[in-house]
């Protein structure tokens, strides 16, 4: 898959669950389709394949910009959940109806 590099002011890894938490000016940058995600707190659960924040975020790739409060990315199904204050901008036109957005 895609390599995603995360930088933050502080990060922790739980040795048992392998859950990673990143705090303070978090930036996650993908090397292909993911793009750039910025937020103040981010968690990755590798066993469940879930990238999560309950904070305000901005996600931008070559085709879209997505903003909101709260974000869950499901790695396996490639589904995205944004529960609050969703704003999405399609760069270069509207998306196809096939549902193939690359996040």
Rounded to whole angstroms, how far apart are CA atoms 45 and 62?
26
Q: List, for residues 52-80, the tens digit of each pLDDT value.
A: 999 999 999 888 899 999 999 998 888 89
- Assess whether pLDDT exceeds 90 at residue 102: no
Banded pLDDT at 98 (limits 50, 70, 90): very low
Banded pLDDT at 45 (limits 50, 70, 90): very high
Residue 52 burial (CB count, 10 A): 19
3-state helix/strand/coil string of 41-88 = EEEEECCCCEEEEEEEEEEECCCEEEEEEEEEEECCCCEEECCEEEEE
Banded pLDDT at 85 (limits 50, 70, 90): very high
Claim: this prediction has a pTM higher than 0.85: no
Higher pLDDT, 91 or 87: 87
Segment 74-92 mean pLDDT: 88
């Amino acid at each position: 898959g895609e390599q995603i590099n995360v930088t933050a002011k502080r990060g922790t890894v739980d040795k048992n669950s392998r859950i990673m938490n990143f705090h303070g000016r978090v930036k996650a940058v993908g090397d292909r389709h993911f793009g750039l995600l910025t937020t103040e707190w981010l968690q990755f659960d590798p066993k469940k394949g879930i990238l999560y924040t309950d904070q305000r975020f901005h996600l931008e790739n070559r085709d879209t910009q997505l903003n909101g409060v709260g974000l869950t990315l499901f790695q396996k199904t490639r589904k995205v959940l944004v529960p609050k204050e969703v704003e999405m901008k399609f760069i270069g036109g509207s998306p196809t109806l096939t549902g193939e957005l690359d996040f």
